[in-house]
Structures are given as C-alpha cells and as structure tokens.
Chain A
C-alpha cells in the first residue's frame, strides 16, 4: 500500500498548495464541416461539436469525483475557422463565432478556441475576412477565443499581419470599453503557435491533429513553491532537482486525468501540457516561486535566470511523467492572473521591458498585460513584432495578449475577476514606432547556423 506520508503529500498538494488540473480541452476537427453555404457549414459545426463534446463536462466531473482533483476548466478547441469558413461565400465570419459560442454554451464548456487564422507567410481571402471579423466576433460572444499566428522560425514574420493585428487588438478593446476592453483578453497573437495547446485564449485544433483528441493542461505553481521552501538557501543544483521531482508528480496527475478522460470519452489522448499556470488565488503564483529562490520582488535582477531554471526543470521533470508532452509546456507569466506579478508591477519592480526579457526563457509571452487606452495600434503592433522576433529567433512559441484599456492610464487598474484576475495598467514607451510598422512586408526567416 502507498504509505501515509505519500498520501498526505498528495492531499496537501491538492488542498493547501492549490494543485489542480487547469483544463481538459477537447480538440475537434471541423475540416469536414466546410460548405459553400455558410449557414449549412455552421449547422454542421454546431452538430459536430455537440455530438463530440456532449459528455465532456460530465466526464470531467466524474473524474473530479473519483480522484478528488479539481478540474478548473473544460474547454474545446477547433480547426482554425479561417480554414473551415473559406469555402463559404460569407463576407464576414461573425456568425461562425456566434455558432461556436452557442455550441460551447450547449455543452457547458468554459471556453471554445479556434476562431483563428495562420498567416505567418501570407493571408488567404478567408484569413482576411476572419481577422477583420475578430473584434465584432469577440465583442458579441462570451466564450469564444481567437488567435492569429503571424510568424514562425521557418517563415519569418508577416509584418502586414502584425500591423493589422495592432488595429484589431485596439478595436477589440474599444468595442468592449464598458467591460475594461475584455474582448482583447480573448485574443492571442502568436509566433510559432503550437497545434495542440489546451490553454486559452490561444487553443486551436491544428491541421496535423486527429479527428478528436483530449489535451490536458496542468497547473501547480503553489506546489512547486511549497517544495522550494524546504530547500531554503541551498545551491541551485538542489533547487533544480526539487522542481523536477515536484513537476514529475504534478504531471503524473495530468497524465492520469488525460488517460482517464480519453478512455471514458472514447477519444484519442493527445498531450499533457506541462505549463505552470498561475491563478489569482493566493499561493498559486509563479512570481512567488522566483521570490522563493531569493529575488526580493519579481522583476528585480536575477529574475530571468531564476525563470530559466524553473522553466527547464519543470520540463525535465515533466517529460518522464507523461507519454506525450506538448502544447506550450513552460512557466506562464500572465500579469493579471498572478498575485505576485500584480504586486511586483505595483511596487515598480516589474516593467514591460523586463517581462519581454523573461519571455525569452519561458512560456509563453506578454500575457494578460493591461496598457493605457491611449496606446496606439502601431505601438501594439511593435510590441507584437518584438515578442514575435524573440520567438522566431529562439525557436519557441511567443504570444502577445495585451489589453489597451479604454479610458485608463498608468496608475489605475482594471478588474476582470475569475481566472482573469486584475491588472495594473503598465507603462509603454511614449516614442513612436509608426514608421517602422508602416513599412509592411515580411521579416525574413532567421539563419539557423552560425549561432551566437
């Protein structure tokens, strides 16, 4: 029998250290739903989602009951809608977003991702329609999430798309000005987007995926932090070992849930995403892990090195615990969703520039960052370009999810509640990047040798 200490360790991780499964995400291919008649395509989409995901929430709840593991979100990701809607003659794709929203509500999932387009090299007519539909689509729906991939290491950066996405982000925020620009929090601009990411807002079901798959995203910053309190003052070798062991245990739980859910639903098990995903709850913060390593306040000097160690150790511990690891798999540093990050910004220790540096060594990018409402579309595009360049050059996924909060400025904050938390408005450069963004075209793919 498992001994008492082991049982108690698991229970403590679940109860005191806020260990949970962040999401069970069902990826559904909609490629067979294309139709020259948009209304028919939407009917097929709705029916397919309801058919495949009808039991998703019930199954997740049964797993919660059986193991006493909280599963915070149940989600769906679908084939990028620009591919599915392309065959239709519709002039915009807002109705497709509404259909996804309706289907999500019918099956009871928290979010549905995949109102997406992959435009890293260029845009099809459908991609253009989808991107220009994003602001209205996100403003008029509740659970739909959107993402656009504007660059890859192999293709370089599509700077025309980057320029357009700055405007789209602005418009999303403006259309939802009454709610703190919340539509922008449901939109992610990616470089090197993964096809099997279970996390929102960037989840979509990639074209290389199967018909229907279950992907699981774990959480657990609190458990890692608690483990590190036992090795106070010890060298980094021991810090890394401790994180690896904890990550292994956390991931095993994710693997168990993925296996169980896929068996119960009769669906292929996809991947376990090893990301350390914080929540605004006290004790569930990535920033607190960095501070436990000896940084007084997150963002201070040493933060990037601490994060690099954390990110790497989580992966090393996690990969052995699961048969298939994928998605984003790293430490998340969303500002509004992490109590420690929020405090670091408020104390003046964490700036946008430092966050950018941190994203070079971790997953996933500038995430859930509120900036002044007066920030121009070109500046947002330039922020996207900087972040995408880091992803492109370093062969990693990077993303930007910034919210130019209408009517708010530095010193104020915006409150979203729930998993989205609250965000202090962060300072952006006052100088213009307009001429840079106006150039358009493509930034060529980087050289893959002569690395220095």
Chain B
C-alpha cells in the first residue's frame, strides 16, 4: 500500500534525516518527497510504499508519532486514497 507521510512544524536541522532513517530501518520505501515552508511552518510530504513493512501499521504510526514528539513536529501517516478521493475526480 502507498501512503502519504506529512511532517509539519518548526524548521530545524535534520528533520528529513531523522524521519527517513526511521523509515529505512522499518523498510519503508520513499517514492517521492517534497518540502516547503507553508504559513511559516516547515511542511514535508512524502509518498511512501509500505509493501516491505515488517511491523504492523499501528506500530509504525506509533514510532512516527514518537519521533515527531522528539523533534517537536507533527508526523502523520495516511493511506494515499483519502487525498486522491478528496482532490481528484
């Protein structure tokens, strides 16, 4: 399954490195990545592939949440279909 990971918060050194390291450890493949500053907030979105994920989805979400708390940013993971269905006819 493909999912979107979104990271929102105050910019600082190493956010992408921290998040992508965690994803690599859990065998999550990053397909696309974009980063911008939106309304003064660091905003990163990633399209990822979860087919090789070895832990339950719930666990990965928990790890991402903990990582977000450590970095002081909000990290969410959502199946890409929610965005596709809302924004594409």
Contact = CB atoms under 8 A, between A and B. Distances in A.
Given A4-B38, A8-B38, A66-B57, A252 B86 contact: yes
Contacts of A9: 87
B85 A7 contact: no
Interface residues of B, number: 27
Contacts of B45: 1, 4, 7
Contact of A67 (B6, B81, B87): B81
Given A2-B4, A4-B43, A66-B57, A10 B83 contact: yes
B81 A256 contact: yes
Nearest to B39: A8
A255 B87 contact: no
B87 A2 contact: yes
A65 B86 contact: no
A67 B47 CA distance: 14
A293 to B, nearest CB: 24
Contacts, number: 63
22 contacts: A1-B47, A2-B80, A2-B83, A2-B84, A4-B38, A6-B86, A7-B4, A7-B45, A7-B83, A8-B6, A10-B82, A10-B83, A11-B76, A65-B58, A66-B79, A68-B82, A249-B87, A253-B86, A255-B85, A256-B81, A256-B82, A256-B85
B78 interface: yes
Contacts of B47: 1
Interface string B36-71: 101000010101000000000110010000000000
B25 interface: no
Contact of B87 (A10, A11, A69): A10
Interface of A: 1-11, 65-69, 249, 252-253, 255-256
Interface of B: 4, 6, 8, 31-32, 34, 36, 38, 43, 45, 47, 57-58, 61, 76-88
Chain B binding surface SS class? strand
B51 to A, nearest CB: 15
Contacts of B83: 2, 6-7, 10
A249 B86 contact: yes
A164 to B, nearest CB: 46
B80 to A, nearest CB: 7
Chain A binding surface SS class? helix
A252 B4 contact: no
Interface centre among B47, B86, B88 (most CB of A within 10 A): B86
In the A-B complex, list the 4 residue pairs whose CB atoms are closest, starting with the nearest.
Answer: A2-B83, A6-B87, A67-B82, A252-B85
Nearest to B56: A65
A65 B3 CA distance: 12
Contacts of A252: 85-86
Contact of B86 (A1, A5, A10, A68): A10
